[in-house]
Amino acid sequence: MDLPYQQYFDAMPCYLTVQDRDFKVVTANRQFREAFGDYRGRYCYQVYKHRSEKCEVCPVEQTFRDGQVHSSEERVTCLDRTEVSVIVHTEAIRNEHGEITAVMEMSTNITDIKRLQHQLHDSQAHYRTLFEEVPCFISIQDRDLNIVDANRMHRETFGDFLGCKCYEIYKHRSEECFPCTVRETFEDHQVHIHEEVVTSHDGRPINVLVHTTPIVGASGAITQVMEMSADITAIRQLQTQLSSIGLLISSISHGIKGLLNGLNGGVYLVNKGLAAEDHTRVAKGWDIVQRNLARIRSMVLDILYYAKDREPDWTTLSAAAALCDVGEQMQEKGREQGVDVTIEADPQAGAFEGDEKAIRALLVNLAENSLDACRLDKKKPLHRVTLRAAGDGTHVRFDVEDNGIGMDRETREKAFSLFFSSKGSEGTGLGLFIANKIAAAHGGTIQIVSALDEGTRFTVVIPRVKTNVRHTPLAPEPTRDQPHD
């Protein structure tokens, strides 16, 4: 069969055939012949697919039926057995009466495109796996700081909150952080690195090292910023452990110098008294010496307690007595500061097993924190701190409640972190950390209920009978949090 424009037909850079109603190849162009060999007397499905029967879905058949153009994607096999992907188009060939006498089938080789498609798909899957499984938190933020994508570790730790603001998810804040390295990256196109404490969806503080990296679109403009945060909590805990001795020693060195000064005074009085045979003076001096020695001893024990995970010195304690002991000392301090300190010790609170010095340190730390919270609050005319002791069948409970400055959610969640202080230069960031550590060493917990400008209540719950707490983590255990707001 000769076609008009045969030479052009031959030269077309695709496989071209003309088929009759039996799907016999009537004619074919050069590229087809080179790839599939001699077609004469053979059927399309034999040549293309090495089949003995026609294909189930056949675009040529469809075109014979309806006269329309049809197309499909197929895999065909060449003479040399190589498989080729093709896109098939069919076109009806009509006689002068408009009847379809044959169908022209044009198959374009798309093997290279298909291979690239597969490679692209594999590459995307590979990078998605990397993104999902890399052992750090990754989130992608847009210019409004919305999280538009996040990896598995991020979702598992912070919750599946696509579309939410990063500061809401990471820090449980209602306002943008300052400074914000994501913003900085959007502005200067640079990678920024900083360290943060963020909070998981279940209230666990996590130390992270954050890298913010620009994601540049096809136009060269930054479309998004990727925030990659490595969890360095374990490293920070180790550092904390290593540095805590040094920190504690420096924080109490002032006290020790004062005590040594007192000792100097005592020794001076004793020496002068002995020289003058003035026994009153000797006794006065010796009192000072003894008092300061006792204070130094107590301070050294405190350092040892704080500096390592000391096993509590277990004795049976009365919850009411422990509270009153601290309460009276706090009433004294409260009077100096104009804060009304009330003690409400339930006589039925009962006994529990604990380390007397540690429990005292715990209550003093909480109460002093409350007094500070009152002192820093300038909005209320009257301030009060209430100390309560109570108990049930299995636990004793201490409440330390104040109407001071209160804490926002971020402060509340970081309250037990070492070195975290909301009191500016006045706080060491040590008190609540130690209180929490002591509670944990007793198998107990401290819960914080607090609202900004309203006040704070710490509730310490300790089992009556000592529990085997083998390891007291330096980092605070997650505590339940019941915010007012």
Closest approach of Cβ 339 to another protein, in Å?
13
Closest approach of Cβ 263 to another protein, in Å?
7
Q: Which residues bind another protein (CB under 8 A)?
A: 253-258, 260-266, 268-269, 272, 284, 288, 291-292, 336
Which residues, including other chains, have CB under 8 Å from residue 301's CB and lie 6 or more apart?
A: 357
Nearer residue to another protein within complex by CB, 262 or 427? 262
Nearer residue to another protein within complex by CB, 258 or 473? 258
Nearer residue to another protein within complex by CB, 176 or 302? 302
Closest approach of Cβ 414 to another protein, in Å?
27
Which residues, including other chains, have CB under 8 Å from residue 243's CB and lie 6 or more apart?
A: none
Residue ranges of E strands in 277-327:
314-318
Enter the tokens of residue 113: 């495109």
Closest approach of Cβ 281 to another protein, in Å?
8
Q: Tell me the longest C-alpha to C-alpha distance in the chain.
A: 146
Closest approach of Cβ 420 to another protein, in Å?
23
Nearer residue to another protein within complex by CB, 153 or 256? 256
The full DSSP string for 176-220 is --SS-HHHHHHHH---EEEEEEEE-TTS-EEEEEEEEEEEE-TTS
- The answer to whether 183 and 148 have CB atoms below 8 angstroms apart is no
Nearer residue to another protein within complex by CB, 216 or 294? 294
Closest approach of Cβ 435 to another protein, in Å?
22
- CA terminus-to-terminus distance, the chain: 87
Closest approach of Cβ 280 to another protein, in Å?
12
Query: How many other CB atoms sit within 10 Å of the CB of residue 35?
Result: 20
Nearer residue to another protein within complex by CB, 253 or 315? 253
Cis peptide before 179 (omega within 30 of 0): yes
Nearer residue to another protein within complex by CB, 196 or 278? 278
Closest by CA to 362, choosing from 245, 463, 456, 441, is: 441
Helices in 5-98 by DSSP H: which ranges? 6-11, 30-36, 44-49, 59-66
Single-letter residue type at 189: H
Helices in 85-163 by DSSP H: which ranges? 111-133, 152-158
Nearer residue to another protein within complex by CB, 177 or 296? 296
Single-letter residue type at 312: P
Closest approach of Cβ 372 to another protein, in Å?
12
